[in-house]
Amino acid sequence: MTPGDARLAPRAWLAAAAIAALSACQQTPTPPQAAAPAPTATATAQPPAPVVPPAPASANRAPIDWAALQNAVGSYNAQTQFLRQPGINRRLRALLGVQYELVMRDLQVAGPLQQDKGVYYVTGNQAHKGGVEAVAIAMQPASDSVRVWLLHEGREQVLQEQPNAFAWPAEVQTLIQNSAARR
């Protein structure tokens, strides 16, 4: 034993005593853990843990009252406030974030709620700013998803809940194409 080892021995004893004292303070005894097997030269790599698929996208979304939306077809949002329906409102706010108010302004001049091939949609633009500030909101019950096309300051943006979203209705496609042709 070297002189340095002699100085470390009391410290090791104090550390062991402290650990023993702290473990005695535990209120719930923990079961002893089995020692991990020592690695061997012939050990094979463990296969990766299986990937757990995420929950369905609609599991965390506010439910949309599709029957109420069907009843609103042909009406204007200013009359029936169909976009204020709790499920639609929450989902639009979650999807759009800070752009929610901009989208609502872009619906100042809006058409009625329409349905085309199972997709509900509404289009609009800010008063006196058609072709510069416009929006289309589309919702599909089959995929339980919402999709928004936004034209702000002449730049397009598409926001959607699902990456492989449904196709835009024909009228929305025309709006998008006409908007691109004007720029």
Q: Is residue 24 part of a domain?
A: no
Q: Is residue 92 part of a domain?
A: yes
- Is 124's pLDDT higher than 80? yes
pLDDT computed for residue 129 by the predictor? 73
96 against 126, higher pLDDT = 96
Domain hosting 114: range is 61-182
**Total domains present in the chain:** 1
CA dist 164 to 55, 99, 123, 161, Å? 16, 22, 21, 9
Catalogue the E-assigned strands of 29-141.
Answer: 109-110, 114-116, 119-125, 134-140
- Is 9's pLDDT higher than 60? no
User: What's the rounded mean pLDDT across residues 45-69?
Assistant: 61
User: What's the rounded mean pLDDT across residues 6-18?
Assistant: 46
